[in-house]
Amino acid sequence: MYAIIETGGKQYKVSPGRTVRVEKIDGERGTKCVLDRVLAISDGESLKVGKPYIPGATVEGKIIRQGRARKILGFKYKPKTNYRRRYGHRQYFTEIRIESINQDAEGTVTA
């Protein structure tokens, strides 16, 4: 069983018991979070696709940690003018352990 969710402008394929790093979501370590932008759900036999989201479907997870990714270096350069600038960026992330994938009332509630 898996679901495709959207959060932080990106799409992720998630399944129960797995961890995923997403763009920063507010919340403390150990708290639950509910992701309600579910694009598709598959139970192994059938695939349910939303337009664009499946109404009533949610993915529940637990926040494992908040952190910052490795530094990415950027570089600006303009030729013939001796202009060079180097800068760094560290993106914030939230690591979530997926606990369950729930469909709406007409579907089934599954692990």
Instruction: Give per-residue burial for 48-71: e unless 16+ CB within 10 Å, then b.
Output: beeeeebeebbbbbbbeeeeeeee
Rounded CA-CA distance 106/85 in Å is: 56
Q: What is the pTM of this model?
A: 0.82
> For residue range 39-53, what is the model confidence (pLDDT) as tens digits?
999 988 999 999 999
Which pLDDT score is estimated for 103?
Answer: 86
Closest CA to 56 of 98, 16, 109: 109
pLDDT reading at 32 higher than 90: yes
Query: Quick count: other Cβ atoms within 10 Å of Cβ 15?
Result: 14
Give the mean model confidence (pLDDT) for residues 17-43: 95
**Residue 17 banded pLDDT, cuts 50, 70, 90:** very high
Q: Give the mean pLDDT of 94-110.
A: 78
- Helical residues (DSSP H) of the chain, grouped into ranges: none
Distances (CA, A) of 89 to 52, 56, 66, 69, 74: 32, 37, 17, 9, 8
pLDDT above 70 as % of the chain: 94
Indicate the domain borders of the chain.
2-103
